[in-house]
Structures are given as C-alpha cells and as structure tokens.
A = this chain, B = another copy of it.
Amino acid sequence: MLDVGIIGASGYTGVELARILAVHPEVRLTVATSRQYAGRKMAEVFPSLAKRLDVLCENLTVDELLPRADFFFAAVPHKTAMDIVPKLLAAGKKVVDLSADYRLHDQRVYEEWYQPHSSPEFLAEAVYGLPELYRDQIRTARLVANPGCYPTSVILALTPLLREDLIEPGTLVIDSKSGTSGAGRSASVANLYCEVADSFRAYKVGGKHRHTPEIEQELSLAAGAPVRVTFTPHLLPISRGILSTSYATLTPRGAKADIFALYEAAYKDEPFVRVLAPGEQPATHNVRASNCCDIAFALDHRTGRIIVTSAIDNIGKGASGQAVQNMNLMQGFAEGTALMGPACFP
C-alpha cells in the first residue's frame, strides 16, 4: 500500500485526483494540503467524497509533509510548484507535478513564457509525462512533469503525422475548445455561471497562451525540426472536456499515405487512445470523467488539408487521470489501475 499525498487538494484537479485515488486498490491517500480549507475534511469541501475518503485538508510546510507520504501529486500553480518539488525529491520522494514548472526542457523558453526558474537543474531530469510517448522513461523517473491539458489533446493527435513527415509543420493551425473547469476554482466574475452558460468565446488569441511552447516542444521533437503553431483556445459552456481541431497541409508523402493505418498502428495497443473509424467524430461526452483520448481525422481534398480532431477530459487525461497513469507506471502498478472506467455518458 503506497502512501500518497496531494499538495493543493482544493482545486478541480485536486478533487479529481481524490475521486480516482478513492478507488485505487494500491494506494492510500494519507495527506492533502489546502491553505484555504485547512482544518476541514476534504469530504466537507467536496461532499461528493463523503463516506469515500476520510482525509483532512491541512496547511503544512514541506518539512511537515515529508513523513506523511512516499509519493506526491503537486497540484499547485506554476512557480509554487518549483518551491516545493526539489525538497520532495531531496527527501527521496517521487513526484508527479501537475504544474508547468518542469514541462519545458529549455530554461530560456520557460523563462520567456513564465518567470525565472529557481531549480533549472531538474529540467533535464524531469520526464514529460505523456505515457504514449515516454512510457519507458516514466517508469524509472522520480519526477514526472504532467502535461498540460491542451498539449495532451494536440500532441497525441499530431505526433503520428509529424513523425512520418505527412504534414507541413509550418501550416499548423490549432483551434482548441476547453470546458470551464480548466479555469480553476477561484471566485471570479468571468467564470460565474451566468457569464459562461449559453455562451462561447475565444481567449488569449494571437499566440499568447502558455501552452503554446509546450505544444511546440513536443511537436518539434516529433518532426525532428522546430515547429511553430498558431494555437487559439476557446471557452466552452461545459464543465469537463477539450476538443482540439488541428489543421495542416499534407506533404506529397502525406497525400499518398494510408493515414488511418498509421494512426491504428500508433495507438492500437494503447488502452487510453482510441482512433475512431473513418466518418466518426469524437465528442467530449464520450471521454468525460475518463482517461481516454479519442482521435479522428478527415481529408479536405479541395484544399489539400488534413483536419484532426481529438477529445479528452481536461481534468481526466488532461490532468489528474494522466497523473495517476504516470504514478501507476512509476510504481510498477498495472498502468490502467483505477482508470479503466468508461466515460460517464450521458
């Protein structure tokens, strides 16, 4: 039985981690931190957990945390994470960090998009936690940088095409739409029910979203050359779910390829990636509350473009589900433990 802690338990990724871990047969959630709710039971803050999880929200220093668990999920914002993670590692703990702090390999890129990095020495060590690409490295890692939600949906969708040189990287346009849980659980007028419901809008338009360099890092690795993308996020009036629609011009090689076969080959043994039959399209309700990523593509013969659509649950495969998948790999548990439940439809 592994003793596990959640640092930053009062956000939506925190409660989703708790939801998954509550039925994980190999772990015990022994500690959960929250400044805001310190002293209250996690099941009081989130009544969905009542009779399922008996853990207190505590406001603890890292030193106080250390004896309480052997494995930690850091579900705190970037910048806060890099203050905590090195101390956990120094004490011999394993960590899945859900923030952006260790996702970018290049310190300069990180500092251009975020702020100065206080522990760049771990950037090389941290493994980018997308098991479908880096499963072997994750198995032996002590620090896994859990991918961002948008990047997860995009990288899984485009990597097979870029690896095989089937699309022109310079033509990539990525139009992503996310549910509102991605905006977090802080009081704000912009995220009130009446502001979000029955509406739809783009935000951070013009290459301003911080997931852009993360997407570009992984697509560049897949392409074997630098890739720049136009990435536009939108806010959906749903709680959970991301759908990314990616556009690119086919290379001559791509125009002749059997792309369906290629996707099938890439993902047929993956338990959490499902390539849809030609003509089918992913819908976010088919991945809601699951760890799945559904992918489809279509060709626009009139313009020579491919359109790839991919759907995940932004706090499932896009955050907490993937974090547990990474823990399972790091600990040698069966990879799908506690994650095999089908999506909640309807």
Bound CA–CA A276/B292 (angstroms): 34
Q: Does B342 lie within 8 Å of A49, measured CB to CB?
A: yes
Contact B346 A309 (CB under 8 A): no
A175 nearest CB neighbor, chain B only = B175
A344 touches B344 (CB 8 A): yes
Known: A230-B300, A345-B48. A309 touches B205 (CB 8 A): yes
CA distance in complex: A314, B101 (Å): 42
**Is there an interface contact between A228 and B185, defined as CB atoms closer than 8 Å?**
no
User: A19 contacts which chain B residues (CB < 8 A)?
Assistant: 341-345
Task: Give the residues in chain B near A303, CB-CB below 8 Å.
Answer: 207, 228-230
- Min C-beta distance of A20 to chain B, whole Å: 9
Q: For the complex formed, measure the closest distance between the CB of A148 and the CB atoms of chain B, giving whole angstroms.
A: 18
A208-237, CB < 8 A from B: 212, 228-230, 232, 234, 236-237
Does B232 contact A274, Cβ atoms closer than 8 Å? Answer: no
Chain B positions within 8 Å of A296 at CB level: 205
User: What is the CB-to-nearest-CB distance from A2 to chain B, in angstroms, rounded to a whole number?
Assistant: 19
Pairwise interchain contact A288-B198, C-beta atoms closer than 8 A: yes
| Bound CA span A5–B286, Å | 23
A307 contacts B205, C-beta separation under 8 Å? yes
Cβ of B187 and Cβ of A194 under 8 Å apart?
no
A174 CB, min distance to chain B CBs, angstroms: 10
The answer to whether A202 and B294 have CB atoms under 8 Å apart is no
Asked whether, in the complex, the Cβ of A307 is within 8 Å of the Cβ of B49, the reply is no
Encode A281-316 as 1/0 by CB contact (under 8 A) with B. Answer: 111111111101010101111110101010100000
Contacts of A61 in B (CB 8 A): none
Compute how far the CA of A237 lies from the CA of B284 in the bound complex, rounded to whole angstroms.
Answer: 11
Q: How far is the CB of A294 from chain B (nearest CB, A)?
A: 7
Q: Is the CB of B193 within 8 A of A271?
A: no
Q: Known contacts being A52-B342, A187-B192, is A294 close to B206, with CB within 8 Å?
A: no
14 additional contacts (CB under 8 A) given A44-B277, A228-B302: A19-B342, A47-B283, A48-B287, A52-B342, A177-B177, A186-B189, A195-B346, A199-B284, A199-B285, A201-B243, A202-B309, A207-B302, A207-B303, A289-B344
The 9 closest A-B pairs by CB, nearest first: A206-B298, A199-B285, A201-B283, A194-B346, A193-B196, A48-B343, A207-B300, A205-B298, A187-B187
A sample of 5 inter-chain contacts (CB < 8 A) reads A47-B286, A49-B342, A200-B284, A232-B307, A236-B237
